[in-house]
Amino acid sequence: MKIAIIKERRNGENRVSMSPQVAANLIKMGFEVWVESDAGFGAHFSNNQYSEAGVLIKSLNELKDADVFVQINPPSPEIIGAIPDGKIWISSVYHRSNTELTETLNAKKWTVLSLDAIPRISRAQSMDVLSSQANLAGYRAVIEGAYHLDKIFPLLMTAAGTVTPAKVLIFGVGVAGLQAIATAKRLGAVVEATDVRPETKEQVQSLGGKFIEVKGIEVGSEGGYAKEASEEYRKAQRDAVNKSLAQADLVITTALVPGRKAPILIDDEQLSLMKSGSIVIDMAAEQGGNCSQTKPHEIHVVNGVKIIGSVNLPSELSANASELFARNIWELLKLIGPKGEIILDRNDEIVQGCLISHQGELLLKN
């Protein structure tokens, strides 16, 4: 079977779904691998590197004869129009919030494997693109915050006096939040974190952070994701974090609910508590933002607080992000195509979780 690596069409996207090394591994498995010309440019993978790995370089029009198409982001109208009916498509699709796109792909009788829907179970950890990319995003968020902050992170003792360490507050202790905690601690900051899941307290403390508890009300998690918090919990969390919010130099928000608008964790009143010169890195900006004043792709200043609507942070680390994404794809293909041919076992839990549509049959709905 022929696998085509499609160039990303999303504005500002520097990643590519397949590295030359992983492409070479797929060729050894029995696949023929094609890549759209210059697809790896933003991740510093040249056409020559792909050619040396045994990959054929082709134009988009020439790729239409492939059997399997791989990309990071959902397909654009241009790509949908260029690829014939009945093909296999692998990318993130976000079917819970992209109903129209899902129906369009199903109408083309594509077999669609949505990477963001891979279940968060032990067997699928090596295929989890959300986790691999969130790990990098959490790191990048801290670096971005440090760049914009007008003070240093670590304690500094000088002949002119002592500089106290920066205070960092992190909302959400998932993969991105944990990496943000670890990175901020490595840079010498004092770190606090909060999450709706009480079981994350131990993880925060193991990284040297302080966990802000909301006592008496629990939310918990489901399917590896935090459940949507009740209004009662949000009020209690707000009261618990306000003191830390007022003292924080850098605040990073990471809270997302699959298929829904991101919850507001910092409202206008809470923003008024924050110090002038403090920074908010809102990693949920693309899904509406965790801060009431967040503007995606923009830096918005409110009463001296700089709110950064971060979008697609993994793209800022395109080389590492592409390598990790490619390995996630490789692990999935080892499951569904170990001998160079895609065979979907509909009884397999991983296939059931990410198979959105199959030859005109819509399998997963919102």
125 given a catalytic annotation: yes
- Per-residue pLDDT at 253 exceeds 90: yes
131 given a catalytic annotation: yes
Q: What is the pLDDT of residue 95?
A: 92
With respect to CATH, is domain 136-314 assigned 1.20.58.220?
Answer: no
With respect to CATH, is domain 2-127+317-359 assigned 3.40.50.720?
Answer: yes
Out of 17, 114, 128, 357, which one is annotated catalytic? 128
Whether the predicted model's global pTM rises above the 0.95 cut? no
Out of 125, 205, 230, 359, which one is annotated catalytic? 125
Tell me, what DSSP letter sits at residue 213? -
Q: Helix (H, G, I), strand (E, B), or coil: what is residue 147?
A: helix
Which residue has tokens 């939040």? 177
Q: What is the pLDDT of residue 222?
A: 54
Buried b (16+ CB within 10 A) or exposed e, 38-52: ebbebbebebebbee
Give per-residue pLDDT as tens, 189-206.
999 999 988 899 999 999
Give per-residue pLDDT as tens, 278-318.
999 999 999 999 999 999 999 999 999 999 999 999 999 99
Please give the average per-residue pLDDT across 234-256, as a whole number.
Answer: 91
Out of 9, 120, 186, 197, which one is annotated catalytic? 120
Q: What is the pLDDT of residue 51?
A: 98
Please give the average per-residue pLDDT across 176-192, as a whole number.
Answer: 98
Task: Let me know if the fold of 2-127+317-359 is the same as that of 136-314.
Answer: yes
Please give the average per-residue pLDDT across 146-152, as a whole number.
Answer: 96
Out of 21, 76, 186, 225, which one is annotated catalytic? 225
225 given a catalytic annotation: yes
Residue 224 structure tokens: 């590896």
Residue 147 structure tokens: 């760049």
Q: Where are the domains of the chain?
A: 2-127+317-359, 136-314
Cβ proximity of 279 and 304 under 8 Å: no
Of 18, 61, 78, nearest to 333 (Cα)?
18
Out of 19, 91, 114, 131, which one is annotated catalytic? 131
Q: How far apart are CA 11 and CA 34, in angstroms?
A: 23
